[in-house]
Amino acid sequence: MIISGKDIAAQLRSDMQQQVEAMAAEYGRTPCLVVIQVGNDPASTIYVRNKMRAAEFCHIRSQHLLLPDSISEQDLCAHIAELNADNDVDGILVQLPLPQHIDEEHVIRAILAEKDVDGFHPANAAHLWLHQPLVKSHVASIYNPVPDYGCTIPCTPKGILSLLASTGVELDGKRAVVVGRSDIVGKPMAKLLMDRQCTVTVAHSHTRDLPAVCREADILIVAVGKPKLITKDCIKPGALVIDVGINRLPDGTLSGDVDFAECKDIAGFITPVPGGVGPMTVTMLMQNTIDCFRRRMLQGKE
């Protein structure tokens, strides 16, 4: 069965519109997201446009701050400091990658953790790794994929938990293999799955006999950026397969990290590319913005 991230994302965004309307009535204003783009990288321009459109749909106020790629790290951080201090701004996102002369780690650290809607700030990452909410009492659904960690969870892994919840497959006790160990997807995904009582293996470029490791997986999550790395000999029959990769092939078409045509009849559930994980990531960015706003309101800040 094919999991349509596009349809689930549309359902979630309609729900978020209602959440935002209710918040406007309760708090007298709507959440506000600022997206900072440095330079004119064409892929970044498309990603940022998608984020602004999603915000508009959810009735989240948004601002696109386009800065020249000649900007210094210091000046970029000064913009961030201004937004940190602005009580009307709830979420700040700096689109990555940044030009080479700017240290991404410094920039991510410059964002106030409570406004870090990506969940990349070390305070949010540490919180995710050190905190284990009561998962047993948590009923996961597409609307409520993670228990309350009290911090921002990175958008892609959070969206994947929604997709997993949409299948109704029980995660407790299952074997999960995460291929890829990035800070943005692989590592937080592994922690979230451990918290859902999965036995988790993280595979990567040095893993020996990757197909044999993948064949162990009841839940296979692939986030490496290598087109069609995962072939049919990597899939356990009936497995739940989530493809995070978005790769442009020489003929101009898009391909995931999974060979979809070859794997779709062996997997029990599988996400397509495009229309799988991608729309969910943007949707979870909206949810993270709403959640940052709500936490700030509850702390009495406006």
Catalytic residue numbers, as ranges: 51, 95, 118
Smallest distance, Å, CB 199 to ligand GUN?
27
> What does the block give as tokens for 180?
């890829």
For residues 137 to 176, the per-residue mask of contacts with ligand GUN, x marking binding by CB under 6 A and - elsewhere, is ------------------x---------------------
Q: Does 273 bind ligand GUN (CB under 6 A)?
A: no
Smallest distance, Å, CB 151 to ligand GUN?
16
Q: Does 96 bind ligand GUN (CB under 6 A)?
A: yes
Q: Are 119 and 154 in contact (CB under 8 A)?
A: yes
Q: In whole angstroms, what is the distance from residue 182 CA to residue 200 CA?
A: 15
Write out the DSSP string of 157-193: HHHHHHHHHHHT---TT-EEEEE---TTTHHHHHHHH
The stretch near ligand GUN (CB under 6 A) out of 80-88, 90-98, 157-165, 291-299 is 90-98
C-alpha angle 279/284/285, rounded to 5°? 100
Note the helical H segments in the chain.
5-27, 42-57, 73-85, 104-110, 122-130, 155-167, 186-195, 210-214, 260-263, 277-298
Rg (Cα) of the chain, in Å, rounded? 19
One residue of 19, 37, 95, 271 binding ligand GUN per CB under 6 A: 95
Smallest distance, Å, CB 257 to ligand GUN?
15
Q: Of the two residues 96 and 297, which places its CB atom closer to ligand GUN in the complex?
A: 96
One residue of 76, 93, 179, 286 binding ligand GUN per CB under 6 A: 93
The stretch near ligand GUN (CB under 6 A) out of 6-14, 25-33, 64-72, 94-102 is 94-102
Footprint (CB under 6 A) of ligand GUN, residues 188-207: none
The stretch near ligand GUN (CB under 6 A) out of 20-28, 54-62, 89-97, 170-178 is 89-97
User: 98-127 as b/e, with b when 16 or more CB fall inside 10 Å?
Assistant: beeebeeeebbbbbbbbbbbbbbbeebbeb
One residue of 92, 94, 198, 217 binding ligand GUN per CB under 6 A: 94
Diameter over CA atoms, the chain: 57
The residues near 114 (Cβ < 8 Å, ≥ 6 apart) are 292, 295, 296
Q: Does 67 bind ligand GUN (CB under 6 A)?
A: no
